[in-house]
Amino acid sequence: MADKDLIAKRIAKEFSDGMILNLGFGIPNAAANYIPKGVKVILQTENGGLVFGPTPKKGEADPDLGNSAGSPITMLPGASAFDLATSFGIIRGGHVDATVLGALEVDETGSVANWKVPGKMMPGMGGAMDLLVGAKRVIIAMNHTDKDGNSKVLKKCTLPLSASGVVDLIITDKAVMEVTDKGLLLKEVAPGVTVDEVKRITEATLIIPETVGTM
């Protein structure tokens, strides 16, 4: 299984009936394809859509329907489209139960950086700032290390922050970690990955319980 699919499937296990969810660019959006059978959620996209479903099959996409990244989506019965002011009213009003976002870095205090690398052209913060402080639960989904093998799960973020102390759960291609006031609690490791491997590639302090599950 590709790393991104493993992460997307694990994200979807955090969904439960009736939740209003916002999924960010890339891997988080892919979680819409793995919503467990029997679980009904309401997906919201900050560019102005409510109640959308999986990625359409090749050749079946509607060019007028896209998520916040511009990727094709399907609209389900009861769906609606609206302006940005209404969309951000939903987010800022605290009506989103959980948001899943990607990140450049996240740290053991629950702070996250996902919008700027000094000296590089980046697309900007987008709706991340509002989602990070407006959603009731924040899940970060990303690769555990960068392309050079450096940990992206840090003791303290080094890049400009998107928000401070807001993250609840971190899901990577190597592990699932819960943010606690004592550090990051290692809850699960990816198939074929050991606890020692996760410790070796993680800069942040990890709390290791007696039993660690498998993603």
Give catalytic residue positions: 46
**Own/partner pairs, 75-83, CB within 8 angstroms, 24+ separation:** 75/49, 75/51, 76/51, 76/52, 77/51, 78/51, 79/49, 79/50, 79/51, 79/52, 80/49, 80/50, 80/51, 81/48, 81/49, 81/50, 82/48, 82/49, 82/50, 83/48
Q: Kindly state the tokens that stand for 185.
A: 């609690």
Q: Kindly state the tokens that stand for 187.
A: 């809850």
Distances (CA, A) of 18 to 15, 38, 68, 105, 159: 9, 11, 22, 30, 35
How far is Cα 27 from Cα 95, in angstroms, rounded to an integer? Answer: 23
